[in-house]
């Protein structure tokens, strides 16, 4: 099994063949409730008819031409994203790591424009920005960096959710701050309410670019199209990927003002980036999010699910906290709980555990109320049985 695949993943012994909405069917025909959406990718669920139709139509027309020519759908998608976000320009790529690479390159070039010879970016402890050399160097997790030294230099690390620590940085090389509005891989960590606003003020005072990694939080997941819209700020740069194409690979680095003019002819590129197929999928995603009112639904459903979990776990002393920002939901236990993934899988429920002790749920935004109830009941049963049995 997997004999010719590099062993970079500890894969669960299940293979899915078909999906519909919040459900996946494995090769034995067994049905699973997907509370992870392919890690915040399939926000519209599996095989959403609007996305399927857009992909099929475009695949039959034109898949790729390269960026040596104008790409009409790319221009249309950039317009839609710019008007939805308040940004001026978009660079398209194929993944979250690439989108963050673009942001880091943009910050460095911005710094050189200011006369800073070795520009540096402030990044956070516990963060995740991807697996390329620059993005793993920006990532605040030694396990991800180990074995790949020398790391890319030019990052200054501070604790997350600590604006004072950012304020205390007195380093003339700093030109930007890169931060996740909610840390996803880091354990669904939600910063205190004024955090992004303070970072915005600090960046304004010091001419730093505020760059948000919205690869996981973006596209409606947190209850607004982009998480920064709930923080009452606008970043200079932000990145998207995961749910942008509902599974068709596409990433984006968006910027406004002077930051939007930094990456000029010849300074960055991507062969596949923003090809007609990926853009058709992303346009269908944006349209469907609007038509089905799914962004608002993510906020309402997320709060309801979290409240129901709090009720279910009210008398379980091993559950430290249930937290959520829209449909990014974390259930933190008082112990490592990676075992729960296999136990849930056996019962036909797909969940994830991150940062060792936190169950992470990223259900699709199209989850209906009955499915939400099923998710809460089933997972609460598994967690309560497991923690009480093993106390």
Ligand X SMILES: *Cc1c(COP(=O)(O)O)cnc(C)c1O
CA angle 143, 146, 152 (to 5 degrees): 115
Distances (CA, A) of 299 to 39, 43, 180, 294, 374: 18, 13, 18, 9, 19
Binding of ligand X by 73 (CB under 6 A):
no
Binding of ligand X by 226 (CB under 6 A):
no
Closest separation in Å from C-beta 95 to ligand X: 3
Binding of ligand X by 130 (CB under 6 A):
yes
Closest separation in Å from C-beta 328 to ligand X: 10
Closest separation in Å from C-beta 266 to ligand X: 24
Torsion of CA 29, 13, 360, 163, to 10 degrees: -140
Q: Looking at beta carbons only, is 130 or 364 nearer to ligand X?
A: 130
Binding of ligand X by 129 (CB under 6 A):
yes
Binding of ligand X by 184 (CB under 6 A):
yes
Closest separation in Å from C-beta 69 to ligand X: 26
Binding of ligand X by 247 (CB under 6 A):
no
Tokens of 33: 């409730």
CB 334 within 8 A of CB 383: no
Tokens of 265: 């002819």
Write out the DSSP string of 286-354.
HHHHHHTTHHHHHHHHHHHHHHHHHHHTTT-TTEEEEEEETTEEEEEESS--THHHHHHHHTTEE-EEE
Binding of ligand X by 96 (CB under 6 A):
yes
Nearest to 245 by CA among 272, 294, 280: 280
Q: How many chain residues interact with ligand X (CB under 6 A)? A: 15
Binding of ligand X by 97 (CB under 6 A):
yes
Closest separation in Å from C-beta 247 to ligand X: 12
Binding of ligand X by 37 (CB under 6 A):
no
Distances (CA, A) of 175 to 122, 154, 156, 343, 386: 8, 10, 11, 46, 48
End-to-end C-alpha distance for the chain, whole angstroms: 36
The span from the CA of 359 to the CA of 285, in Å, is 27
Binds ligand X (CB under 6 A): choice among 43, 85, 95, 246: 95
Q: Looking at beta carbons only, is 269 or 381 nearer to ligand X?
A: 269
Q: Looking at beta carbons only, is 130 or 276 nearer to ligand X?
A: 130
**Coil, strand or helix: which one is 216?**
coil
Helical residues (DSSP H) of the chain, grouped into ranges: 37-40, 49-59, 72-85, 96-113, 133-138, 142-145, 163-167, 195-206, 276-291, 294-312, 339-346, 369-389
Contacts of 377 (CB under 8 A, 6+ apart): 312
Binds ligand X (CB under 6 A): choice among 180, 236, 332, 371: 180
Binding of ligand X by 215 (CB under 6 A):
yes
Closest separation in Å from C-beta 265 to ligand X: 26
Segment interacting with ligand X (CB under 6 A) among 10-18, 90-98, 272-280, 314-322? 90-98
Segment interacting with ligand X (CB under 6 A) among 3-11, 30-38, 124-132, 254-262? 124-132
Binding of ligand X by 354 (CB under 6 A):
no
Q: Looking at beta carbons only, is 97 or 353 nearer to ligand X?
A: 97
Binding of ligand X by 45 (CB under 6 A):
no
Q: Looking at beta carbons only, is 180 or 236 nearer to ligand X?
A: 180
User: Which residues are annotated as catalytic?
Assistant: 128, 213, 242
Binding of ligand X by 387 (CB under 6 A):
no
Q: Looking at beta carbons only, is 111 or 245 nearer to ligand X?
A: 245
Q: Looking at beta carbons only, is 103 or 376 nearer to ligand X?
A: 103
Residues that bind ligand X (CB under 6 A): 95-97, 100, 128-130, 180, 184-185, 213, 215-216, 241-242
């Amino acid at each position: 099994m997997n004999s010719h695949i590099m062993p970079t993943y500890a894969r669960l012994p299940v293979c899915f063949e078909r999906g519909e909405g919040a459900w996946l069917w494995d090769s034995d025909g067994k049905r699973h409730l997907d509370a992870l959406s392919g890690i915040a990718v399939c926000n519209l669920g599996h095989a959403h008819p609007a996305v399927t139709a857009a992909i099929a139509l475009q695949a039959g027309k034109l898949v790729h031409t390269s960026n040596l020519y104008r790409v009409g759908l790319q221009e249309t998608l950039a317009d839609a994203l710019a008007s939805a976000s308040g940004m001026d320009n978009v660079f398209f790529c194929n993944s979250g790591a690439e989108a963050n690479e673009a942001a880091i390159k943009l910050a460095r070039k911005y710094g050189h424009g200011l006369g800073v010879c070795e520009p540096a970016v402030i990044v956070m402890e516990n963060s995740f920005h991807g697996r390329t050399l620059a993005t793993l160097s920006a990532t605040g997790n030694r396990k991800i960096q180990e074995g790949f030294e020398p790391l890319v230099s030019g990052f200054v690390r501070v604790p997350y959710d600590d604006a004072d620590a950012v304020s205390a940085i007195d380093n003339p090389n700093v030109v930007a701050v890169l931060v996740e509005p909610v840390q996803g891989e880091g354990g669904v960590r939600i910063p205190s309410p004024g955090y992004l606003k303070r970072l915005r003020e600090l960046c304004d005072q010091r001419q730093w670019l505020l760059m948000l990694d919205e690869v996981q939080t973006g596209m409606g997941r947190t209850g607004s199209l982009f998480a920064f819209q709930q923080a009452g700020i606008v970043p200079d740069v932000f990145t998207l990927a995961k749910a942008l194409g509902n599974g068709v690979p596409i990433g984006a680095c968006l910027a406004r003002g002077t930051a939007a003019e930094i990456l000029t002819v010849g300074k960055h590129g991507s062969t596949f980036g923003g090809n007609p197929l990926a853009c058709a999928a992303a346009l269908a995603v944006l349209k469907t999010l609007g038509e089905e009112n799914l962004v608002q639904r993510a906020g309402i459903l997320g709060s309801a699910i979290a409240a129901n979990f709090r009720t279910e776990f009210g008398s379980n002393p091993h559950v430290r906290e249930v937290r959520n920002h829209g449909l990014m939901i974390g259930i933190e236990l008082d112990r490592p709980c990676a075992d729960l993934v296999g136990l849930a899988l056996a019962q036909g429920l797909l969940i994830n555990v991150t940062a060792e002790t936190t169950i992470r749920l990223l259900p699709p935004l199209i989850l209906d109320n009955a499915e939400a109830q099923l998710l809460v009941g089933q997972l609460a049963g598994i967690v309560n049985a497991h923690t009480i049995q093993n106390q």
